Every structure is written in C-alpha cells, then in structure tokens.
Chains A and B, each alone.
Chain A
Amino acid sequence: MESIGVLMACPMNSYLEQQLENRFKLFRFWTVPDKSSFLASHKDSIQAVVGNAFAGADAKLIEALPKLEIVSSFSVGLDKIDLATCKEKGIRVTNTPDVLTEDVADLAIGLMLAVLRKLCESDRFVRSGKWKRGQYVLTTKFTGKRVGIIGLGRIGMAIATRAEAFSCPISYYSRTEKPEIKYKYYPSVVELAANCDILVVACALTTETHHIINREVIDALGPKGVLINIGRGPHVDEPELVSALVEHRLGGAGLDVFEHEPEVPEELFGLDNVVLLPHVGSGTVETRQAMADLVIGNLEAHFLKKPLLTPVV
C-alpha cells in the first residue's frame, strides 16, 4: 500500500502520523505552503484523507481530489466533513466511536469528585503553604449524592455505572424514556435538575440541545447543586452559568468544555467551587492510540477491499 497517497489534514497525533508513514505515502497538508498547486500536482495519487474534529474534508477539497475514495476521521464528530458530497460521490467515511466513552465518563466522575471534595483547591492550599497557617475547610461527601444525567447514550450509561459504585441514585432525561433501563426518568431537564444534586450533560449537541442548561435549569439545580459539562460548550448558556456561580445561586461546576474555546470567562478564574479543564475528555495516550489504530484499520480494510470497521457513509 506504499503507493497509496494519504493526505493528513492537520497535525493530530504523532503515533498516527508514524503509523501512516510506515504504511502509505503520507502527505502532511499543514506543511504545504501553496495548497492549490500541491493539490493539482498530487490529485492523481491521493486516495484517502485523514481528518479530525478541527480539519477534515470540505466540498472544495473533495472536488480537488478526483481519486479520493475514503475519509477516515480521527474523531467521533464529523462536522468538518461534507458528508452529503461524500455520499453523492461514493466516498466512504469512517469515524472512531466508542473508544473514548470510558475516558469521558472517567473524567465526568473525576470532575464530580474534584468539585465536591475541592481537590484542585486543596492542591493550591498545600502548594501555597497555607496549610501551615490553619486547617483546610470541610468538603462535601460524594458517595450517595443523586446524579442526574442528560442524555443516556453510551457516555451517559458509562457515567451511570461508575456513579452506582459510589452508591449514587441515578436519574436521567432524554428525548424518550428508555423502558429497559431501571433508572428514574424525568420528562424535562428542569424536573431532573430539581431532583438531583449533581447534573451532568452527556448528550449530543444539536439545535434542540443548544443551551439546554439555561437559567431555569440552573435555578432548579440550586445553591447546593453542581453542574458537570463534558458535552459541548454551547449546551450551556455560559453567561447565565457564570452569573449563577458568582452570585452563589449554583453550588459549583466542573467544566471540560466552553462556548468559545479556548476562551474561558474571566469571572470563573477566581472561584474555588469550579474546576476548569481545557477540553481533555478523551485526552489519554491509550485512547488516542486506540483511535489511531481505528483510523489505520479502516484505511487498510478499505484498500484490501474488506468491510470497514466503523463506517458512517
């Protein structure tokens, strides 16, 4: 397969880059100064594109690559790939589902523990030498807290099984009730928020779930409630969240995602009841390697004319 040209859209993972280099004729698109003349001279050899959540294959790139057969994305979300054009032209598309489920769920529980037990604040307390001048504050118990999950898909379920090991009663909201599931269902997010101590956003971002966490939901969660967002920033009405935290109308928040990444609202930096992460939900060495292996596995399967591992189109 050394003769097959693979275009990598942007830098994403050094292990993936190395594995692609070993197997295919790899082109690093981000290192190319003149993109259009590069595409003109390599259009007959590039048969595959590797993209991710930041760069993929838009209609223009697809048009420029007449021999393109497959787009293999190093991501779950495919918003940077023009799926309609791919479908129309018979170009296959794959993603990397499932492999990051556990990491995101682990991080959700990690954020719950970090916010309730004030772990980051306690680390600051020790590092700054304040311990020598007095005792640390009491923190809030996690075991047994009522956990409400918005979106009971793979990630939501993985969060639920973990939280159950901490004896947390689980309830959830989703578009429709899942009758096979034993957890308590609430038909609205406000009702779910009013009946839990920790509310975690684990649904997909769609037009319906944009700002699913609004003022009404935050008020229902209340001054002792904690919001965890490991979904997407726009799930939360961020100015409303910030003012609720600043005014102590909400107990705390653990946030891995923000509305305007990498910008994080300044007002949050001084609060000790929030934990702020730079979108690291799936950011582990092990998971990125599993994702890279899936990207390569899909490409190899395609060119060996075998069934794709994780096809989308």
Chain B
Amino acid sequence: MADKETQQPEELPVVFLHRPPSFILPFGDHLRSQFHVLDPYESPEPYDSFLARHAPSIRALMTMGPTLVSAEFLDRLPALELIVATSAGLDHIDLPACRSRGIVVTNASSAFAEDVADCAVGLLIDVLRRISAADRFVRGRMWPVKETYPLGFKLGGKRVGIVGLGSIGSEVAKRLSAFGCTIAYTSRNKKQSVPFPFYANVRDLAANSDVLVLCCALTKETYHLVNKDVMVALGKEGVIINVGRGSLINEKELVQCLVGGEIGGAGLDVYENEPNVPKELFGLDNVVLSPHSAGGTPEGFEAVLQLTVGNLKAFFSNKPLVSVVSNE
C-alpha cells in the first residue's frame, strides 16, 4: 500500500472522467489514489484539445450522471475499451455503437438495487395508504376539522406486476413477497430460475395485476412501453410505480389517465423532462412524487464507488469485470 501512495499519478492506470460540468464527484479523492483521473473540466486546456491530446492513452472511461456517450463522441476515443457507468440505466450511452466497436460497458444497478427497491416499496405503500397526502392533511390542521381521513387500500394480497426483473426488480419482488403480495413479471426473456409467472408483454401483465412496478432499462424497445392501452388494462384501481426512467411511460397519457380516473394512483420518481413535472399532478392526492432520488443515499454511493473501482481494477489487471452489461 505504501508503494502505491508514493506512485506518481502518471504511473497509475488512466481513467477518463465523463461528467456534466456541474457534477461534483462525490468520491474523487478515493479514485485519484488509485487511478490517473483525466478530468477535462479540471484542466485549463480547452475541452477538445485536452481530449485529442489524451485520447491515445484512454482505454477506460467513467460516466457520471446523464452525460451523453454518443457514437460521435466514441469516434474521438479510438483506444477506448471500457465504459464504467455509475448509474443503473444506460439510456445515455449509445450501446449499439459500443457493440460494434467492441467496447465493454458496466453499470451500477446492483449497487443501487436495494435503495431503489426500498424507494419503490415506499412509494407503493405511500400511494396505497395515502401517507404523503395524510401528512399534508395533518400539517394543514385538517384533522380536528374533518375528524376522519378517507380510507386507503391494503397492500397485502395485491397482485404486483414487475416490468424488468433485473437486480432492482428482484429486490422489489423479495420485499413485496413479505407483505403477502403475489408477484408476476415481464422482461425480454423468461427467466428459468424464477418462480414467478411470466407474461410475454406488459399489457397482459397489466391486465392481471393491481400494481405495475417499472424497473427496466430504457431502450428503443421500452420507450413509452406503458401507454393508455396498458393503463386501461391495469384498471381504475390500479397503481403504477416508476423507478426506472420517465420515458418508459407516455407521460401525457399517464396524466390524462390519472386526472380522468382511468387508473387509481401513481408513485413516480422519474419523469420525461426532468426536472419538469407535469403540474396537473400537483393537485392530486393519489400520486406521490419524488425527484429522481430513489438511489440517493450515502450508503448507495459508497456501494457505487466499490463497484466502480472494482470494475476498473479488474479491467487493468485483466480479471473478469464485476458488472458487465449484456449488450446483444
């Protein structure tokens, strides 16, 4: 260890940091002790010349936040072999371009899985039992005036359909099973090792569920996966929880369905045009809104750091990567 600390940064493996200018790296020091971090926003040199000068040495890139990794950007990094994403979703990365270049991509969904699943369950209980609305009722001094608060709905016995049974979806299933919910799912492929019923499409899943929990990746195939047709199939008492990405749902139709009573409620952590949230939702008591914060705990970030560093170290020592995304 002592040797490592005395190493000059230039002797450490090079990692290019791809981040929005405003993004503050929560664990920069830890990374810098192990890698030679190239951060264009820390250099006085203009971005383009910085990138061009270092490109031949950049084999590994780390993305922070939703910064785009487009095919054009990848063209400027001819030596790139690895992209380490610190997010669960990879919709900001041009995966087909990575595939054709043979660039391997890792994500951090396993590090976020527990926190995001906790948030999904929290949002669901909140919607069904009207927790945020009831808190508003008490703080608004309505309890002594109205005396009784409207009844909520029981979680136990609800049929929960999980869209995307990856690391996050599996954690959601495990938690909700303990509440007496029955679980079913849809995903690209049926999973042999899973005991839950599989539906080939989200509409059939919705028709057989009281609750839909969205925790799949946003891809061309899953864009607007949940539309009015799916919501009508879910039904007037149905609840949608979205901890995936905003564009998994046709937001305009979601708002119409909520306002028109076509579905019973929603718990949303993500939106189509963040941080803009449709203001029609602000007056509704059957929705719970959170600001894309499902993964936002210090413990979660620590887990992301461990996973990210683990992937980078494995890459530079030619060992198997920890969280490779299958990019077929």
Contacts and interface: CB of A to CB of B under 8 A. Distances in A.
Given A106-B156, A114-B122, A143-B118, A120 B131 contact: yes
B297 A113 contact: no
Contacts, number: 170
Contact of A141 (B115, B143, B155): B115
A223 to B, nearest CB: 16
A153 interface: no
Nearest to B299: A141
A110 to B, nearest CB: 3
Nearest to A103: B154
Interface in A154-176: 161-162, 164-167
B52 interface: no
B148 to A, nearest CB: 8
A136 B149 contact: no
B122 A284 contact: no
A280 B288 contact: no
B143 A278 contact: yes
Interface string B49-69: 000000000000000000000
A220 interface: no
Contacts of A103: 154, 156
Given A119-B123, A120-B132, A131 B151 contact: no
B115 A106 contact: no
A88 to B, nearest CB: 34
A140 interface: yes
A162 B175 CA distance: 7
B122 A110 contact: yes
Interface in A66-89: none
A273 to B, nearest CB: 12
A143 B117 CA distance: 9
A123 B288 contact: yes
Contact of A127 (B125, B152, B274, B289): B289
Contacts of B157: 286
B135 interface: yes
Contacts of B123: 119
A249 interface: no
Nearest to B292: A136
A275 B154 contact: no
Interface in B128-142: 128-132, 134-139, 141
Interface stretch (B10-18, B76-84, B177-185): B177-185
A132 B131 contact: no
A138 interface: yes
Interface string B109-120: 000001101110
B180 A119 contact: no
B195 interface: no
A310 interface: no
Contacts of B135: 114, 120, 275-277
Given A141-B299, A142-B118, A110 B125 contact: yes
B289 A286 contact: no
Given A162-B178, A263-B144, A117 B289 contact: no
B290 A122 contact: yes
A59 interface: no
A217 interface: no
A135 B123 CA distance: 19
Nearest to B173: A165
A139 B293 CA distance: 8
B291 interface: yes
B126 interface: yes
Interface string B157-176: 10000000000000000110
B129 A110 contact: yes
B118 A113 contact: yes
A179 interface: no
A275 B153 contact: no
Nearest to A143: B114
Contact of A106 (B179, B275, B290): B179
A232 interface: no
17 contacts: A110-B131, A113-B126, A114-B122, A117-B118, A117-B293, A119-B122, A132-B276, A135-B291, A141-B297, A162-B179, A166-B114, A262-B144, A277-B135, A280-B134, A283-B129, A284-B151, A284-B152
Interface of B: 114-115, 117-119, 121-123, 125-126, 128-132, 134-139, 141, 143-144, 147, 149, 151-157, 174-175, 177-180, 274-277, 282, 288-293, 296-301
Given A110-B125, A269-B139, A280-B134, 9 more contacts: A107-B131, A120-B131, A122-B289, A132-B276, A138-B301, A143-B114, A275-B135, A277-B134, A284-B128
